[in-house]
Structure 1
Amino acid sequence: MQQTTFWKNYMTNAQLDLSIARYTKVPATWAEDSYVPEFNKLYFIMEGEGFVKVNGETYYPKPGELYLLPAGSTQAYGTLNDHNTFGKYWCHFSSKVNDAHLFQIIQAPVFITPCDPELLIHKFKQLILHSEKGDLSSGFRVHSTLFGIMADFIEQSSEVHFDSRTVPSFEKMDKILQYIESHLHDSLSVEDLARIASFHPNYFISVFKKYTGLSPIQFINRQRMERAKHLLLFTEQSVTGIADSLGMEVSYFSRMFREQIGFSPKNYREMISRTGVTKN
């Protein structure tokens, strides 16, 4: 899946919310003719026969296949053999990026064959377990597991792509983010960036925050610190040299690095070096 600077940052705003997760041996009466759900569904088929239909195309899932049925698509499903119905792990969940459905933005295949089915079974069991718990940590466990399943689905598919038509101002914002990435050493003002995008500065700030979750200045500083982390890890540049390469006074750079990363640049480099990270 080709990723631009824009998409990498835009997708950090993705939200997944689980409503239910179960394992079910479906009854012979399991059927729906044609409907459009407002939630996404995952079916991991373990046994049996049946069919699902998505936007007019019919599929006959086999054991070991993971199906993604996205919100907003016209769906139908049913059994083929009353004595050999589906046994499946499944869940329903919502997915949004800002105000849009995730799978309006990401065009994904209907199914994949997971590389590690045993690991996926474990993840579904964890999803079910923690979704039924009411303790404080269970919500975090559910979110991390669901994100993990969807990350695996996307990584193991060769057919996933972004639909830029669903995101207004995509081309302008991608241009801006690429410009920032290649000019981190320069003094970047909101007015200059807004001019590049042909937006009024106030409107530019609003659009930028909508797509990145940060103000332009916050985003620029975050990218500078990410660049600094890379340089501290993979080069022998001095802290002063790294600050200079980012167009920052060393004292200001060191203070910002500590505020955002939690360590001074020197301590960060020493800590990472002790972990045995290879520089190349």
Structure 2
Amino acid sequence: MNIDNFHPLILNVGKAVLDANWNWQNVCSPFARIYYIIKGEADVEIDGVNHKLKSGRMYIIPPFTTHSTKCQGLFIHYYIHIYDNSLTGNTLFEEYDFPFEIKSNHGEDNLFERLCNLNPSMILRRSNPIEYDNNQTLARSIIHNKQRSEWLKMESRGIIFQICSRFLVNATTKAVIKNERILKTTKLIHANLSGNITIEQLAAEAGISQEHFIRLFRQTTGTTPMLYINQKRIEKAELLLLTTEKSIREIALTLGYEDNSYFVRVFKRVTNTTPSEYRRQNKQ
């Protein structure tokens, strides 16, 4: 991935002062979390391994990483939630393994403080993931990010690049063959959301049989190829519903659904609401 295609959108940023109330189980989000610990300690469990968060350190949790958090006393930290709106479909987090923990080089205080001062409207009012980690909130946050003034987006993005570079310097390229094959197919999916994407095409792109591809895709992503395609299409549909005046039919066709009724059924299965209800509720 060319770093010029890294397009981070800030969803939330702020400074949290917590007291034994950062206890959440099995959190999994489509965005990355970055923490800079100011005071106190907390625990984060990932894949059955417990990690201790300590003051003076920075931490990153990539998108779609299931984790649980726990703190038993005063815990003060900065947080940033960023969504990689990659211009090419595949994201920085899909191509690199980042170190979970890095030491502060004493310049982070100013960076995080400046980012918070620039974006006071992005502070979380509550730390409960259930309240801010859902498709509707994600779509609204992305829209809010894009509606800011150009100078504000530029300075904020510059700070994000500086912070992410601290992790990238020790990141390693994902070189496992199965990841490379699946990354090739996810690129194809992102680039052809409006087209008729078949399992046969994806398997050919990966260079393996269809049966092997379906099994490998599920092992890597935790879902089937068709569910993944529908999820990405519906995420795009949510943004189109909130940011354009296109009809439901037009959006369905834009995303490769020739059968409008089928599109509505898929949308409701993913979001628990119909496209028209989603547009009406969120525009209100």
Q: How does the TM-score come out when normalised to structure 1?
A: 0.51
Structure-2 change in CA distance of 1:138 and 1:96 (3 Å): closer
In structure 1, give the amino acid aligned to 2:173: F
Taking the aligned partners of 1:102 and 1:56, their CA distance within structure 2 comes to 25
> 2:156 matched to which residue of 1?
142
**In the alignment, which of 65, 69, 88 is matched to residue 57 of structure 2?**
65
Taking the aligned partners of 2:22 and 2:183, their CA distance within structure 1 comes to 42
Taking the aligned partners of 1:170 and 1:18, their CA distance within structure 2 comes to 24
> 2:81 matched to which residue of 1?
92
CA contact (8 A) 2:15 2:76 kept: yes
Structure-2 change in CA distance of 1:93 and 1:170 (3 Å): closer
In the alignment, is residue 112 of structure 1 matched against residue 126 of structure 2?
Answer: no
Offset of 1:41 from its aligned partner? 0.5
Structure-2 change in CA distance of 1:170 and 1:55 (3 Å): closer
Structure-2 change in CA distance of 1:96 and 1:54 (3 Å): farther
> 2:130 matched to which residue of 1?
none
> 1:54 matched to which residue of 2?
46
Offset of 1:154 from its aligned partner? 1.8
Look up the SS of the partner of 2:22 in the other structure.
Answer: coil
In the alignment, is residue 161 of structure 1 matched against residue 168 of structure 2?
Answer: no
CA contact (8 A) 2:99 2:167 kept: no
Offset of 1:132 from its aligned partner? 2.9
Taking the aligned partners of 2:78 and 2:110, their CA distance within structure 1 comes to 11
> 2:166 matched to which residue of 1?
152
> 1:28 matched to which residue of 2?
20
In structure 1, give the amino acid aligned to 2:160: L
Give the unaligned 5+ runs of structure 1. Answer: 1-6, 172-280
Structure-2 change in CA distance of 1:101 and 1:55 (3 Å): farther
Offset of 1:135 from its aligned partner? 4.5
Which aligned runs of 4 or more in structure 1 are off by greater than 6 angstroms?
none
CA contact (8 A) 1:52 1:61 kept: yes
Aligned 1:172-211 pairs, distance under 5 A: none
CA contact (8 A) 2:20 2:71 kept: yes
CA contact (8 A) 1:46 1:88 kept: yes
Structure-2 change in CA distance of 1:150 and 1:35 (3 Å): same
Give the unaligned 5+ runs of structure 2. Answer: 122-147, 185-284
Look up the SS of the partner of 2:118 in the other structure.
Answer: helix
In the alignment, is residue 19 of structure 1 matched against residue 11 of structure 2?
Answer: yes
Look up the SS of the partner of 2:7 in the other structure.
Answer: strand
In structure 2, give the amino acid aligned to 1:70: P
**In the alignment, which of 105, 117, 120 is matched to residue 132 of structure 1?**
120
Taking the aligned partners of 2:151 and 2:118, their CA distance within structure 1 comes to 9
In structure 2, give the amino acid aligned to 1:121: D
Look up the SS of the partner of 1:37 in the other structure.
Answer: coil
In structure 2, give the amino acid aligned to 1:103: F
Taking the aligned partners of 2:120 and 2:152, their CA distance within structure 1 comes to 8
Taking the aligned partners of 1:78 and 1:169, their CA distance within structure 2 comes to 33
Render the CA deviation track for 1:201-232: whole Å, top value 9, x for unaligned: xxxxxxxxxxxxxxxxxxxxxxxxxxxxxxxx
